[in-house]
Amino acid sequence: MKLSVNTEIGLTHLLSRKRQTLVASLGVTIGIAMYIFMNSLTLGVNRYSDNAIFKNAPHLRVYKEDEMSKPIPGVSSSSGLPVIVNPKISNTSLNLVNPQKLLKDIQSQKGVTAAAAYVTANLFYTNGKSQVNGVASGVNILEANAMFNIESTMIDGDLRSLVNTPNGILLGVGIVNKLNIKLNDNINVISSVGVVKLMKVVGIFKTSFAITDKTKSYVSLATAQQLLGQGPNFVTDIYVNVATPALAPSYVPLLQNLTGYNVEDWMVANETAVAGSKIRGIMLGGISWAILLVAAFGIYNILNMTITQKLNDIAILKATGFSGKDVIRIFVLEALIMGFLGTCFGVILSLVPTTALAHVYIGADIGYFPIRFEPSIALKGAIIGMIVTFCAGYIPARRAAKVDPLAIFRR
């Protein structure tokens, strides 16, 4: 192997003080390991909480906003100003016009992975005297399943029966318990506009949200439309999923233009949860950066010390023809080698807490702690680690480059 003189000198310095080299590297090792661990933690927990959101909510929702009544043009008060004394929600339908075309248009957009039409109906579930109020989602159950993986929450029955059973209904387990019924029983539902229908329970689901389980049901689109006394073109919402949930907000203007209706992304709809993610990110990110900086400071410190001890050597090198740049190269190289060693071990070390935590059983529908070794974060950590060590090396190296050999020889 052919080494340049600068490399050889740097390596000799490192090898002749192995303990210091090791200590400085170890600082980086711990810093990088913590950085990777903390960020994997943030990513894992945020991914889990996002997924929890996406179990019930789509990335984007297209709907028609309620309109407030507007003054009738031309009718004005004596002062000349149009006045409405008591503005109310105007009694217009929340129907999306021509939903089939909208759905097709949306599905053909780049980045859209799934889109489903929804009809939401408020209603009562009744069994004899027992009555539970709730919300039915009229859906094409296969489309909805593609979006929310409803199948994974089914505890009884089969969601596919909804396709074949015209009056079938999938009920949350809370409703089933309250009404004291079981699979294949019949119940009556009464909609907010007074339509009554006899439905057959073809499936029971259980999510991690008790509220959902106590109110929610799935019926076919047609059933929901009938319950609301509407025709087959009545659709209240279109749910849209995109390839990258984080980019959902960028689809809002696009879909708004395309459909002409209101579009809401999941981050707006779940502001609290998103804020929680952000706070976690900032907190753990801050801690991991702090640890990384401490590690970098370790390298800075040791290099600074080395340079102070080696003023004589630096002077000799410069006298025998090494330029300031060579001196910088020598010491930056030393920092980078320590940083590289530390980073490699740090990546390996980060496996320990991540795998350990990944084996901690939390229970409920979380199961094991939602963390895993994230190669992308490890890569980012390694790159940051190298950049930070470069800076930690460069600052003292520049000082070394400025050493005036005469000032040393004259001493």
Partner 1 sequence: MEREIVLNTSKIGKFFYDPIEFKALDDISFEAYKGEFLTLIGKSGSGKSTLLYILSTMDTEYEGELFIDGKKITGQKQDNLAKIRNENIGFVFQFHYLLPEFSCLKNIMIPALKLGKFSREEIEEQAYSRLKMLDMTDQALKPASKLSGGQQQRIAIARALINNPKIIMCDEPTGNLDTKNTQIVFDIFQQIAHELGQTIIAVTHDTDFAKASDRTIELADGKIISHGKK
Give 368 or 409: the residue with its C-beta nearer to partner 1: 409
The rounded distance, in Å, linking the Cα atoms of 63 and 239 is 9
Yes or no: say if 202 and 163 are a contact pair by the CB < 8 Å rule.
no
Q: Which stretch binds partner 1 (CB under 8 A): 103-111, 169-177, 308-316, 376-384?
A: 308-316
22 binds partner 1 (CB under 8 A): no
CB of 285 to partner 1, least distance (A): 41
Which whole-number Å values give the CA distances from 44 to 29, 41, 47, 357, 370, in the listed order? 22, 5, 5, 11, 5
285 binds partner 1 (CB under 8 A): no
CB of 12 to partner 1, least distance (A): 5
- Of these, 184, 376, 387, 409, which contacts partner 1 (CB under 8 A)? 409
The rounded distance, in Å, linking the Cα atoms of 361 and 41 is 15
Pairing label, strands 367-368, 112-127 = unpaired
Contacts of 256 (CB under 8 A, 6+ apart): 262, 263
305 binds partner 1 (CB under 8 A): no
281 binds partner 1 (CB under 8 A): no
399 binds partner 1 (CB under 8 A): no
Both tokens assigned to 188: 């009556």
| Cα dihedral 251→256→262→263 (10° resolution) | -10
CB of 403 to partner 1, least distance (A): 12
Beta bridge partners of 137: 120, 218
313 binds partner 1 (CB under 8 A): yes
The rounded distance, in Å, linking the Cα atoms of 166 and 164 is 6
- Of these, 73, 80, 321, 363, which contacts partner 1 (CB under 8 A)? 321
Give 16 or 78: the residue with its C-beta nearer to partner 1: 16
For the chain, the distance separating the N- and C-terminal CA atoms, rounded to the nearest angstrom, is 39
- Of these, 105, 143, 151, 326, which contacts partner 1 (CB under 8 A)? 326
- Of these, 135, 243, 283, 319, which contacts partner 1 (CB under 8 A)? 319
The rounded distance, in Å, linking the Cα atoms of 339 and 24 is 8
The rounded distance, in Å, linking the Cα atoms of 348 and 355 is 11
315 binds partner 1 (CB under 8 A): yes
Give 147 or 333: the residue with its C-beta nearer to partner 1: 333
Q: Which stretch binds partner 1 (CB under 8 A): 60-68, 123-131, 151-159, 312-320?
A: 312-320
13 binds partner 1 (CB under 8 A): yes
Contact positions toward partner 1, by CB under 8 A?
Answer: 2, 5, 8-9, 12-13, 16, 312-313, 315-326, 405-406, 408-410
